[in-house]
Amino acid sequence: MAITIFARPKLQLFGVTTEYVVRKIGLSDLTDALRLGWEDFKAIPTHAVVLCLIYPVLGLVIFRMVLGASLLPLLFPLAAGFTLIGPFAGLGLYELSRRRERGEEPSAMDAMHVLRAPSFGAILGLGAILLVLFGVWIAVADAIYVATFGYAAAASIPDFATRVLTTPEGWTLIIVGCGVGFFFAVAALCISVVSFPLMLDRHATAIDAIRTSLQAVRMNPIPMAAWGVIVAALLAIGSLPAFVGLCVVLPVLGHASWHLYRKVVEPDPNPPPEESRLPIGHRYAADFPASLFPWSRER
């Protein structure tokens, strides 16, 4: 009697293959992902806020640094450029959502388990690509400003705002800068929309994760474009009150990105068993500071 073995089909993309099955989604799935992200945030708000508090603080530091260095024209490109590295920055939030999805009650320390992920090297590699993309965007934005206004520095925020909003050169800067920034944002979205959750969840390589992300965008162009607009709009809203709103916007988007990944990529039909959570046990003073890191007690 013959035995037929069914193999997972591989998807063709630009002459290469990816083993992960991508689904078609609709705009309603984006709304549902945001709803689930909000539910995760409400369930573990303290952990998410603590993880994301660094971003508004970093934004304020950058704001002060830019003003002090007379580089005011780069303030907006720096703030907008964080959307390029946002998928990498959300790793801890993906892990919290993943654990809550499994019925656990995750703690803030659980977010640090991404450092032990089998694919952490691949995650760092793709994160480095996004950081390079961020650096290139800043350089291009500076070149656009110099080409428009020359090397003369803005004296103050009102002076800079007046030059940008009330002069033909300023409108040129806005149109060209936003147009070029749009292409950087599209590039980042295409290579990372599901890449980091996939590497964390399925231990995919960086190449396979990028292929799958590209396939997701190709199969769902309208929903993915709408997702990019939603992310940009929410980040802009969260940045308005001195970046403080990002304490809520960033964790919600991070959790929602995990649920979007779940909707786009078909789950593994035979997932490997998850390691069991070890009991905390007693902590002794002699174990400090190793006791701060729970995986240091695992064998």
Q: What is the pLDDT of residues 192-208, one digit of tens each?
A: 999 999 999 999 999 99
pLDDT at residue 154, as a whole number: 61
Q: Is 91 helix (H, G, I), strand (E, B) or coil?
A: helix
Residue of 243, 182, 177, 257 whose CA lies nearest to 213: 257
pLDDT higher than 80, residue 5: no
Domain map (residue ranges) of the chain: 25-266
pLDDT at residue 76, as a whole number: 77
**Which of 4-8, 67-71, 114-118 bottoms out in mean pLDDT, i.e. has the lowest?**
4-8
Mean pLDDT, residues 256-277: 79
pLDDT at residue 110, as a whole number: 76
Give how far the C-alpha of residue 277 lies from the chain's centroid of Cα atoms, to the nearest Å.
27
| Residue owning tokens 């944002």 | 185
Q: Which of 111-115, 236-240, 274-278 has the highest mean pLDDT?
A: 111-115
pLDDT at residue 14, as a whole number: 46
φ and ψ of 7, to 5 deg: -105, 150
Select the more confidently predicted residue: 167 or 46. 167
Q: Is 259 exposed, middle or buried (0-12, 13-18, 19+ CB in 10 A)?
A: buried
Q: Please, where are the H alpha helices in 221-245?
A: 221-239
pLDDT at residue 55, as a whole number: 57
> If pLDDT is split at 50, 70 and 90, which confidence band does 37 have?
very high
- Extract the tokens encoding 229: 């607009």
Under a CB-based contact definition with an 8 Å cutoff, are residues 118 and 201 in contact?
Answer: no
Select the more confidently predicted residue: 260 or 7. 260
**Which of 5-14, 84-93, 200-209 bottoms out in mean pLDDT, i.e. has the lowest?**
5-14
- pTM of this structure: 0.76
CA distance 194 to 25: 13
pLDDT higher than 50, residue 112: yes
Mean pLDDT, residues 39-53: 67
pLDDT at residue 183, as a whole number: 92
The residues with which 13 forms a beta bridge, in sequence order, are 16
φ and ψ of 193, to 5 deg: -60, -35
DSSP-derived secondary structure for 11-42:
EEETTEEE-SPBPP--HHHHHHHHHHHHHHHH
Mean pLDDT, residues 170-180: 88
Under a CB-based contact definition with an 8 Å cutoff, are residues 80 and 71 in contact?
Answer: no
pLDDT at residue 53, as a whole number: 55
pLDDT higher than 60, residue 57: no
Helix, strand, coil percent content, the chain, rounded in steps of 5: 70, 5, 25
Mean pLDDT, residues 51-80: 61
> If pLDDT is split at 50, 70 and 90, which confidence band does 284 have?
very low
| Residue owning tokens 């701060």 | 292
Under a CB-based contact definition with an 8 Å cutoff, are residues 65 and 88 in contact?
Answer: no
